[in-house]
Amino acid sequence: MADTDAVIVDAGGRELRVSNPDRVIFPATERSAALTKLDIVDYYVAVGEGIMRALRSRPTTLERWPKGVHPGIVLSTRERAGGDAFFQKRVPRGAPDYVETATIQFPSGRSAEEVCPTEIAVVGWAAQMGTITFHPWPVRRGDVDHPDELRLDLDPQPGTDFVDAVAVAADARALLDELGYAAFPKTSGGRGVHLYIRIEPRWTFTEVRHAAIAFGRALERRLPDHVTTNWWKEERGRRIFLDYNQNARDRTIASAYSVRPKPGAPVSAPVSWEELANVAPEDFTVATMPARFAEVGDPHAGIDDVVHSLKPLLDLYERDAAEGRGDMPYPPDYPKMPGEPKRVQPSRDRDRSR
């Protein structure tokens, strides 16, 4: 049966059909009005240049909430399947012919055809299919085994918050400046801060992850009371965790301009370094971002202008390794990786040896 309530949206010159446009995706809160499926599609079209800078030609996992972001809706995860919302790594059946794909390989050795946005209509179509958040790989489809982006995820642990992540980000910027790297910050859409650095697509996922480990350790040495690279949550304390594993194969971060599935529809917002110390994550939402984008444009507009070598960070990693601090644990769902230490919490390992 035809959907007589469907509307047509202009998505970069393509006619995009949006079914059930009045379906409420985000219910109203004390601070925000309800948002419909059409509101989400319109949002992504409005920030099209920015979201495409983040997604273009990147294999992208779709985080789909087809029933909306309502109380009681459960998101399926690697550990718990069967939820109403889910991550879709394979291109959905019935995708329009303009939706292009890229073949990616998981750590298990299996592969999949994943959506690879090349125009804003693809983003709009995904939003019409219930996608809230876009999770791009740090590679382009021309070379899916060599990342062109180093991602530094500053993740507040219990007892810390966005303000603490911002303070650490300032020191991270100083260290990056010393190493010769230009980094571009964004809010996570929650309490964290993400720093993105364009790199030459010459190194493997393993090497890029080693670079993140090296940077995290260098920052940890400068700020031992405020930064940690400890993989085990029990040993992180009230510090900012630099999540080096976000650079492992098949690990992704919500893209710039992605909507996050939280009350009020916050978005992951690119900001300038000058702004970062004076903003709050809740400043950036589906309701507020289009006007900001129209006024100031994309703070990440210059991200592709400079491409960096990983050698300074890989040299740091080798120096640490020579002193006995080599690789670190991978996520638990990964197969045992070459050079990886035992996946045993160090404090528990010490207890067993007594």
- Block means of pLDDT (10 residues each) for the chain, 354 residues, are 78 97 97 97 98 98 97 87 92 95 94 97 98 98 97 98 98 98 97 98 98 98 98 96 97 98 97 97 97 98 97 98 95 88 71 49
Task: Give dist(CA 191, CA 165) in Å, integer.
Answer: 8
- DSSP string for 304-325: TS--B-SHHHHHHHHHHHHTT-
Radius of gyration of the chain (CA): 20
Cα angle at 122 between 88 and 108, to 5 degrees?
30
Cβ neighbours of residue 255 closer than 8 Å, sequence gap 6 or more? 51, 54, 55, 60, 133, 134, 135, 136, 268
Alpha helices in 17-91 (DSSP H): 37-46, 48-55
Q: How far is CA 287 from the centre of its chain?
A: 21
As assigned by CATH, the class of the 7-137 domain is: alpha beta
Let me know: does 41 contact 125? Beta carbons within 8 Å. Answer: no
Tokens at residue 134, please?
């876009």
What pLDDT does 348 receive? 62
What pLDDT does 1 receive? 41
What pLDDT does 347 receive? 60
Q: Do domains 7-137 and 149-251+310-343 have the same CATH topology?
A: yes
Q: How far is CA 24 from the centre of its chain?
A: 25
Amino acid at 296: V
What pLDDT does 3 receive? 59
Task: Give dist(CA 109, CA 117) in Å, integer.
Answer: 24
Task: Give dist(CA 314, CA 28) in Å, integer.
Answer: 48
What pLDDT does 78 receive? 78
For the chain, the structural domain boundaries read 7-137, 149-251+310-343
Superfamily designation of domain 149-251+310-343 = DNA primase, PRIM domain (3.90.920.10)
Closest to 221 (Cα-Cα) out of 250, 242, 194: 242
Closest to 337 (Cα-Cα) out of 164, 134, 107: 107
